[in-house]
Amino acid sequence: MTGITNSKDKKITVVGLGSMGAAIARALITKGYEVTVWNRDTAKAAALTTEGAIVATDIVAAITASPLIVICVSDYKATKKIFDTAGAVTALSGRTLVQLSTGTPKEARELHAWAQQQGALALNGDILAWPRQIGGSEATIMISGPSAAFQLHETALRSLAGTFSYLGEEPGASAVFFSAVMAYLAGNWIGFCHGALICEHEGVPVDTFGTLIANISPILAAESRHMGEVIQHNRFADPESTVKTTTEDLHLLVQHSEEAGISTELPRFAANIFQRTVDAGYGGEEHAAIIKVLRKHG
């Protein structure tokens, strides 16, 4: 079912009203849904009444108000504290939980099993967007879990993001990809800030550096796709640039950081991984060959 067929289908509860949860509630209200909200800090819930939200008096009332409950709190542990009470557990029967809080694949699988025990269904999702982008074309949301639950609420869920990907029945799939993306972003953010340090020390405008990265983003996107294919299909030979060449460049980055008197943490960390890859005999292969060393860690 992909369309709204009756008034019950228009009822959605949002639990958790931080920046992201509030953005989810607003997006659903804007799209014409009857949104009930609940938050441990009642002031945050009250603030949404002027935008059309209905404030539930307690978590049981929030659950019983709608067949679909969207959760966006700090993590899965907070979700457990909220829902794992006698009244809430009883109220969950026959309803669908959509967990949009951050968690691990293991936690997602555990929530799926727990929801089944309560006679409910759970979809586990992850948001790749800022709160301001929710409900618009720039937002991306991934979700995984029972296909029947997704199909039942697909229209409402797709209203939250321009790109909405259903990843299949495996409950932990969305969390797997979110963790993978987070690993990429962590390296990206640290790398950018080290670049900013270099610019600051040399008197070069950091915003110009930001523009440069934005301008080469199509190349970076193509490189990401290429690396995925290289690793997936074990095609590390015939690189345009080798692990050895990059290792030499990273050692120079360490030298530069020492000469400039700025942090050497990132370049030393990166140079160490690449040097270990060279020492393992993969110096003539693709950059992505560092995964061969990372696989052996621990």
**What homologous superfamily does CATH list for 177-294?**
N-(1-d-carboxylethyl)-l-norvaline Dehydrogenase; domain 2 (1.10.1040.10)
Task: Indicate the pLDDT class of residue 86, thresholds 50, 70 and 90.
Answer: confident
Helix (H) or strand (E) holding 123: strand 121-128
- Range 212-221 average pLDDT: 97
CATH number of 7-170: 3.40.50.720
* pLDDT at residue 286, as a whole number: 96
Task: Indicate the pLDDT class of residue 47, thresholds 50, 70 and 90.
Answer: confident
Least confident of 41-50, 173-182, 212-221: 41-50
Q: Cite the beta strand spans of 136-232 per DSSP E.
A: 140-144, 163-166
- Please report, for the chain, how many H helices and E strands are present, in that order: 14, 8
Whole-model pTM?
0.90
Among 154, 105, 152, which residue's Cα sits nearest to residue 126?
105
* pLDDT at residue 193, as a whole number: 98
Query: Domains of the chain: which residue ranges?
Result: 7-170, 177-294
CA distance 124 to 145: 6
Q: What CA–CA distances, in Å, run from 270 to 102, 221, 247, 248, 250?
A: 28, 20, 8, 11, 7
H-type alpha helices, 131-172: 147-152, 154-158
Contact indicator for 243, 281 with CB cutoff of 8 Å: no
